[in-house]
Amino acid sequence: MRKRLKIGRNSLCPCGSGRKFKRCHLNQAIDMQQISTKREVTSDGGENYELDKSGFHLIKTTDLAQLSGFDASASFGMDGEEPDVARIWYMSVCANSEELRSVMDPSTAKDWLLRTRADAILDSTRIFRVSVARSQRIQRGLLDDLYANDFSEYLEKLDSIDQLICEDVPSGFILTNIPNAQCVRTENGKIIIVSEVMRHFLYYMSLGTTELEVPLEVRRNALLIAVRVMFMYETMDFEIDPRGEVPYDLHAEIERVVEAQIQFVIGHEYAHHRLGHSFDDVIKIHSKQGGAFIGQNPSQLSLYKRGWEQEFEADTASVMGAKAWEARHRLVHGAIHFFLALYVFETVADRLDKAFASIDTHPPTVERFFRIVNRFGSEFSIDRSDAEKWLEYHRRISDQIIALAECQPENFRRYGSIYLAQWQGKPLVDRIDY
């Protein structure tokens, strides 16, 4: 049970410092007009306090901090001292003091991966809510990687030497609305990150383009969701606000396709490391909700722009790195599906958002697609004429999305959520149902 708690001037400060409220946070630098307090009455009659920043961000205080090894007094400051706002901020996502030290003062590549993940979660209130809900559901920390096994699965495909080379690079998914995958250079070594939003883009694009039976309105909305995800207009809250209930067998088939695509993407980034590719050029991308790709705040994300030949090499090496024929076969099909999905989005984006054309981090998708077909076609019985038919099929889908955008432009420029028509299920209300 939760209820509001009114704090008197002479009451103990809920931060857990042991001092009266009037001598602690009443006149501290933190804006108390933007901080509310919640009291949780536990089953044994005890009380836990949490600070709620802007009515939402939960900041751990003494009761919770002691459980995790935090020193709350070091965060909120003694009399006359400014509170350590950065420490308080990161405490809201860290599971213990060791994790907090890694995030606040990164000294290894692994620390930088945690820091990147923490910054992404704290960059968006909605993503923070998703992280908290996930943590409660799976009983793990907010900075734990839900999909870490995807990286382990790819490493198992490699020979022992390549495994050793790649295991040295901390890798993982980042919960962010920025669609991206890259091998990044930090102050303490390389890390490999893949945005979780890529999974949603690939899932809904696969649902919208599958040749399996899907109602027309569901297919249309799935394509709309996929494009909006890449434009960063679709809210990144699929776990707490599902877009629909896809029949089990169809869902399983779509997931199988997505896993193959993700494996190829992970292999591509590992290949950049294995092949010793450089980090010559950098372009800046920001993560403004519902904005253009090129922004006014370039500090949000840096994307590395490598030479086209290096990208082609990484595409090939992602497949060739696998020892077994079956694994290579699956990676080839993952690459083909990935490039076709990307082709649909890029074709639409070139028409709807001219700023997108300014982001030139990779070679043309069509060329990457046909290079994979030409390189592995004979080995895996992929005929070029079939590949051309697949591309034409996806071009027609792109045209349909563009026509929809011209008729209903608001659906492509409104920040929010789109649902799968008759597959939506029970509508949920924000702040009530989740």
The ranges assigned to domains in the chain are 2-92, 108-423
- Residues 220 and 208: their CA atoms lie apart, in Å, by 6
Query: What is the pLDDT at residue 279?
Result: 66
pLDDT of 19 reads: 58
DSSP letter at 39 equals E
- What separation, in Å, do the N-terminal and C-terminal C-alpha atoms of the chain show? 16
For the chain, how many residues are written? 434
C-alpha span between 100 and 85 (Å, rounded):
13
Residue 287 pLDDT > 70? no
Residue 47 reports pLDDT greater than 50 = no
Q: State how far the Cα of 64 lies from the Cα of 52, in Å rounded to an integer.
A: 14
Cβ-contact 50, 38 below 8 angstroms: yes
CB atoms within 10 A of CB 286: 17
The encoded tokens of residue 407 equal 């008729």
Can you tell me the mean pLDDT for 308-315? 93
Q: What is the pTM of this model?
A: 0.79
Range of lowest pLDDT (28-37, 108-117, 383-392): 28-37
- Measure the CA–CA gap between 162 and 76, rounded to whole angstroms: 47
pLDDT above 70 coverage of the chain, percent: 73
pLDDT at 130 over 70: yes
Of 338, 344, 340, the closest CA to residue 319 belongs to 338
Higher-confidence position of 8 and 265: 265
pLDDT at 353: 79
- Grade residue 107 by pLDDT with cuts at 50, 70 and 90: very high
Q: What is the pLDDT of residue 360?
A: 63
pLDDT for 411 equals 86
Q: What is the pLDDT of residue 358?
A: 61
Residue 116 CA from chain centroid, whole number: 11
Q: What is the mean pLDDT of residues 70-98?
A: 69
Helix (H) or strand (E) holding 98: helix 97-104
Quick check: 71 pLDDT over 70?
no
Give the pLDDT confidence score for residue 434 in this predicted structure: 72
H-helix or E-strand containing 132? helix 125-138
What pLDDT, on the 0 to 100 scale, is given for residue 83? 56
8 Å CB contact between 317 and 271: yes
Nearest to 203 by CA among 219, 222, 184: 222
Using 50, 70 and 90 to split pLDDT, how confident is the model at 75?
low
Closest CA to 362 of 265, 288, 224: 265
For the chain, the average pLDDT equals 80
Res. 344 pLDDT band, cuts 50 70 90: very high
Mean pLDDT (whole number) for 322-332: 97
Cβ-contact 254, 429 below 8 angstroms: no
H helices of 142-215, in order, are 148-155, 160-167, 197-209
| pLDDT value for 88 | 84
Q: How many CB atoms lie within 10 A of CB 346?
A: 19
DSSP letters along 306-320, please? Answer: --HHHHHHHHHHHHH
The predicted pLDDT at position 305 comes to 54
The pLDDT score that the predictor gives to residue 29 is 34
Confidence of residue 275 (pLDDT cuts 50, 70, 90): very high
Q: Please tell me the distance from the alpha carbon of residue 166 to that of residue 151, in angstroms, as a whole number.
A: 10
| pLDDT tens-place string over residues 352-398 | 877 766 666 678 999 999 999 999 999 999 999 999 999 999 999 99
Q: Read off the pLDDT of each residue in 33-39 and give the average, rounded to a whole number.
A: 37
